[in-house]
Amino acid sequence: MPPRPSPTHFLCLPLVTGVSRHQLSASLSAFRADVTSPDSFAIPEQAVRPLGTLHLTIGVMSFPKDEDLEKAVALLKTLVPRKILAKLTTAEATTATAGSAQERSNTTEEQSGPPPPLLSVTLKGLHSMQPAASRSSVLYAPPVDNDGTLLRFCEHLRATFQEAGLMAMENRPLLLHATVINTIYVKGRNRGKRHEKLTIDARGILDRYGDFVWMEEVPVEKIAICRMGAKKQDDGDEAYEVEAEIDLI
């Protein structure tokens, strides 16, 4: 079997919005100042991901010469997030009792003002992507998803692109995560001829930030197809180039 081609694009939920920017900026700045301090964990500063790169990856795609990119963009633009979520929540509601349904109906009638966002995200805690936290190279903040709606929504999106042949099938469950540390971006990280990954002992960091709230109840605004490789911005931040996006409406 030929090796899988390197990914060039990814489907994601961007996390940096007008609403979230202040929360995330403050959280990430405080985190960076702490973990990179020589008096703390002395993590290389390049390992901490820039604010503009934060997102929840739904799946990766490979278009080496941009072939099929137009198909992916066209598919994205056919999605109607409100209908997808309505279908998912309706399926979930079939297991609810009539009394619970009546209670939700009464609650809805009492609400006033603008409707709530379709999806909101809270990022809380910190985990290692590697099984042994003493030899970590990637640390991430997971979204709080108590009822599983966010995960089911993203799984539906991933399945849509996979069934269209635009995204490779995965033999592992979808893990929604916002990467905050990745040592692959540390220059001069290579160790010997094998170019081994730079690893860190993250046990103390995970203990300190296990309950840390990065952002809270921020509405998801977009679904986007982005190109791999974050680029420097005029303000010094970094961000991924957006090929196409749709509003979460």
Which positions of the chain have pLDDT values less than 70? 1-2, 92-114, 189-195, 249
pLDDT for res 244: 98
Q: Which strands form 55-61's sheet, in the order they lie side by side?
A: 55-61, 9-14, 222-227, 242-247
Task: Determine the Cα–Cα distance for residues 245 and 247; give it in Å rounded to an integer.
Answer: 7
Q: At what angle do helices 149-163 and 69-78 cross, to 10 degrees?
A: 130
Q: Determine the Cα–Cα distance for residues 1 and 29; give it in Å rounded to an integer.
A: 45
How much is the pLDDT for 196? 77
pLDDT at 4: 76
Question: Using an 8 Å Cβ cutoff, are 154 and 174 in contact?
Answer: yes
User: What is the structure's pLDDT at 178?
Assistant: 98
Q: What is the pTM of this model?
A: 0.88
How far is Cα 7 from Cα 26, in angstroms, rounded to an integer?
A: 31
Tell me, what's the pLDDT at 50? 97
Q: What's the pLDDT at 2?
A: 64
CA distance 64 to 72: 14
